[in-house]
Amino acid sequence: IAELHAFWWDHPKLKALTKYTSVFYNWTMASFNEKEILSWFNDQNKHLKQFLEFLEDKISDKRIELFKTAFSLFPQLAYERITKENITVTHGDAHFYNFFYPKDIANDKLKAYLIDWQFWSLEL
């Protein structure tokens, strides 16, 4: 997986790939800008508020503050990452049974292959 991420890291053809991924399409380089980050963040904050109101008497104040802090950091972190690009191809479902492993594990020249790419996307 490290080789995959390294190969595609800020690759010049990533923008061309955005039209082929349907997963998390809002987060691709083609559509990710400051206005959309803030719009998404505002929508998510509305959901967070409803979620916390629902759980108000079921979770601690400390946990509520943790949720609020995590959400408040997102726009800045997302914008910093996007403006620096740092985008690569991600698999989206890379668990052990989505790999083909070589039969001869002693042969260092053979590699495992990642299969089942239906959830791939371009991510931070």
Assess whether 72 and 107 both reside in one domain: no
- Total tally of structural domains belonging to the chain: 2
Assess whether 95 and 80 both reside in one domain: no
pLDDT of residue 83: 66
Assess whether 16 and 36 both reside in one domain: no
Assess whether 40 and 12 both reside in one domain: no
Domain that holds residue 105: 1-23+86-124
Assess whether 39 and 55 both reside in one domain: yes
Assess whether 18 and 49 both reside in one domain: no
- The residue ranking higher by pLDDT, 34 or 70, is 70
Q: Give pLDDT tens digits for 52-86.
A: 999 888 999 999 999 999 988 888 777 766 665 67
Assess whether 92 and 80 both reside in one domain: no
Q: DSSP letters of 35-54?
A: HHHHHHHHHHHHHHHHHHHH
Residues in the chain, total: 124
DSSP SS3 for 13: coil
Assess whether 34 and 79 both reside in one domain: yes
Assess whether 13 and 34 both reside in one domain: no
Assess whether 98 and 74 both reside in one domain: no
pLDDT of residue 29: 45
Q: DSSP letters of 53-108?
A: HHTTTTS-HHHHHHHHHHHHHHHHHHHHHHHT---EEE-S---GGGEE--S-TT-T
